[in-house]
Amino acid sequence: MPKLNKKLFFILLVPLAYLMQFLSSKVPNLAERIYTRGVYRLIAKLLNLVSGYIPVSVAEILVVLSILFILFYIIKTVIKMVKSSSQAFKILCNALVNILTAVSILYFAFMLLWGINYQRLPFSRIAGYDTSPASVDELLDVCESLLVRANELRKYVAEDDNGVMKLSTGINETLKTAYMGYETASKTYPELYHNYGRPKGVILSEVMSYLASEEFTFPLPAKQT
């Protein structure tokens, strides 16, 4: 019974997490000032400091381990149900409660570590952009300007023998300098300044290529692979 009460307590984290999301959606200014620019930056700094010492993608490791654990748990539960057929329903109910408890904890942790950021002010408002509908002529001028600018910058891009763009340095060196883009942008938009973690390549990159997936953003602070 004490174990069940503890599980029920964790399940109650779901409405608590939803309440956090609901309240932050009603006051995005507070979500921006208190959470995004305050609490979240401290959390992100701590997690980036810890994960920064791990040379491989923490997100990839957690995803793979989670998939393996789920498969293991399903197989284990089925075997227990087969061996104890008279207790099969009880075993199934207990497994479902365990799953619900785990999902509740994960959902609450997600909201606490990242989720409230979805309720922050839109960047267009932070940057002071004019988001009123643009005319066709205005869109055409923008496209022509971007085309001219892209052609001007193309001559600075390294190419292989086939004229295809290539990195000027190795992939690892390139990933190490990714933060510099944000540093440059933060000079115009100070809100973008942050101690970002270094993007990391994935071990299962070929599998992701077959799945037509180029990257995934993990719901931990500033973790992109």
Do 48 and 222 touch, CB atoms closer than 8 A? yes
* Separation in Å, CA 175 to CA 116, 178, 179, 194, 198: 28, 5, 8, 17, 7
User: What does the pLDDT look like over 135-165, one tens digit per residue?
Assistant: 999 999 999 999 999 999 988 888 888 888 8
Owning domain of residue 86 = 2-123+132-224
Q: What are phi and psi of 163, to 5 degrees?
A: 80, 15
Which has the closest alpha carbon to 165: 173, 177, 153? 153
User: What does the pLDDT look like over 39-69, one tens digit per residue?
Assistant: 888 888 888 777 777 777 788 888 889 999 9
Instruction: Compute the distance between CA of residue 201 and CA of residue 173 in angstroms, rounded to an integer.
Output: 11
Which has the closest alpha carbon to 197: 17, 91, 66, 44? 44
For residue 225, what pLDDT band results from cuts at 50, 70 and 90? very low
Number of domains the chain contains: 1
Dihedral sign, Cα of residue 1, residue 103, residue 221, residue 214: positive
